[in-house]
Amino acid sequence: MNGISNAVVEDKMLSSLQRILSNVSENGRFALAYSGGLDSRFLAHAAHLAGFSPLLLHVTGPHVPPEEHEFARSWAKKHELLYREIPVDPLNLPSVACGARDRCYECKKTMFSRLMQESSLPLCDGTNASDLLAYRPGLRAVRELGVTSPLALAGLTKKEIHELAGKTGMEIAWQKPRPCLLTRLPYGERPTRELLSAIAAAENAIRQTLVRHDMPQADFRLRLVAKNRLEVHMLLSDMELMPAELRHELLRNAHASMPGLPCPVLSAQETLSGFFDRTSA
């Protein structure tokens, strides 16, 4: 009986999402701010299954690791979805350059304004219902620009998106969030291309090491927490599964990928925040 009830709820969620997309789209078409992460991929996937034709607009720039660009591009191509890349460099924006607390707001407003110039179609994003309960300063830009968030409007939480993605056949339904590289730096730190590139390379080395050791789902962030101090933040639950040899290997590989920067240390976390200090205070 519980299985039947769950199926009914899932059908209602997808039907609600479909109604929202019908209201916002123009002749079945809409533009989507598409990062290649779980939420925007699921929205593109669900829309495609329901017969819509989303235009995937993917922002490239120094704040996003090259591997994420490649994944976003290849996934869209595999599913024969309309896809376009838009280069945006946020590093010279005043709030971003000085590491201000509203850096995410200014960055997102700039990027989404650029996406709206790229296409006259209604613009949607992958904000979900769980995001509305967390510290997400970029959401103010989404609201100000009139961007539609179908997943949030349908009441879909992150957990529900994971479940629906798996049940509707979307690849890598367990995909972890990968916030932009600027969130690896403390407020007040000036980001440079070189520093962001080094962090991206080290995180990729960590990710590949975890894959080799059959831990592809382990979540982490490499963060600059103070001058000359880098920490690999990992969930305590994942760290408890790692033998000491693997912990040392992770740190060695990360350090080798970013010459000139200090060797990071591992730090166990109860939760992983997308933003550096988890709060707006």
Q: Tell how strand 220-226 and strand 229-235 pair up.
A: antiparallel
Amino acid in position 9:
V
Whole-number Å distance between alpha carbons of 160 and 110: 30
Place of tokens 């904000």: 127
In this predicted structure, what is the pLDDT of residue 127? 95
Quickly count: other Cβ atoms within 10 Å of residue 240's Cβ: 9
Is domain 2-167 classified as CATH 3.40.50.720?
no
188 CB-side CA count, 13 A:
6
Q: Which phi and psi angles does 238 have, rounded to 5°?
A: -75, -40
Regarding the domain delimited by 181-269, which CATH topology (the fold level of the hierarchy) does it fall under?
GMP Synthetase; Chain A, domain 3 (3.30.300)
Domain extents in the chain: 2-167, 181-269
Residues belonging to the chain: 281
Q: What is the pLDDT along the chain (281 residues), one digit of tens a residue?
A: 344 456 656 788 899 999 999 999 999 999 999 999 999 999 999 999 999 999 999 999 999 999 999 999 999 999 999 999 999 999 999 999 999 988 999 999 999 999 999 999 999 999 999 988 777 888 999 999 999 999 999 999 999 999 999 999 999 999 988 889 999 999 999 999 999 999 999 999 999 999 999 999 899 999 999 888 999 999 999 999 999 999 999 999 999 999 999 999 999 998 887 655 454 43
With 0-12 CB in 10 A as exposed, 13-18 as middle and 19+ as buried, what is 236? exposed
Q: How much is the pTM?
A: 0.90
